[in-house]
């Protein structure tokens, strides 16, 4: 006899659908999504900054591979050790330039298109105090001028 119930019932002359009819009251499983969208924790980098960052990562990765080749060739005593070391040194200079390029590109982007800074509450308060002092100075001067205009003795 077969261990699967649908085949066994079909072999005994029963209908294969009999087994499936019993499960009609069970709801069909909902289609699950592969992933759920979550809001990003940080905003995406601007396009020029991201481009320079990807370039820098690739350059640094190649530099690390060249440095490893240089070290291994040096340990093996290969003729390729000297050119590999020279290439690794040159690549280190280029990698430094690549990382600095990311930093400079980010700074330029922030200066051109960055968030418009608003004065902080302390700066606002200092401006209010200066305005008050100017207003009081102007009103005191006007009051002094009014007194002289009325014929006050000098």
Three-state SS for 117?
Answer: coil
Greater pLDDT, 3 or 97? 97
State pLDDT tens for residues 24-53.
Answer: 777 777 777 788 888 878 888 889 999 999
Predicted pLDDT at 28: 72
pLDDT of residue 119: 61
Q: Could you give the angle at the alpha carbon of 84 between the alpha carbons of 81 and 90, nearest 5°? A: 145
pTM, rounded to two decimals: 0.51
**CA dist., res. 144 & res. 132, Å (int):** 18
What's the pLDDT score for residue 12? Answer: 54
For residue range 82-103, list pLDDT tens digits in order.
999 999 999 999 999 999 999 9
The residue ranges of every structural domain in the chain are 47-113
- Pick left, alpha or beta for residue 40 (phi over 0 → left; psi -120 to 50 → alpha; otherwise beta): beta
């Amino acid at each position: 006899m077969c261990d699967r119930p649908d085949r066994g019932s079909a072999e005994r002359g029963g209908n294969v659908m009999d087994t499936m009819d019993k499960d009609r009251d069970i709801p069909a499983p909902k289609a699950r999504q592969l992933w759920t969208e979550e809001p990003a924790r940080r905003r995406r980098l601007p396009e020029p900054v991201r481009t320079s960052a990807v370039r820098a990562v690739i350059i640094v990765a190649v530099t690390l591979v060249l440095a490893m080749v240089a070290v291994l060739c040096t340990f093996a005593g290969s003729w390729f050790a000297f050119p590999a070391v020279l290439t690794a040194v040159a690549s280190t200079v280029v990698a430094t330039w690549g990382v600095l390029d990311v930093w400079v590109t980010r700074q330029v982007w922030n200066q051109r298109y960055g968030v418009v800074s608003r004065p902080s509450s302390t700066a606002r308060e200092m401006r209010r105090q200066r305005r008050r002092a100017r207003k009081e100075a102007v009103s005191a001067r006007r009051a002094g001028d009014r007194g002289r205009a009325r014929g006050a003795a000098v």
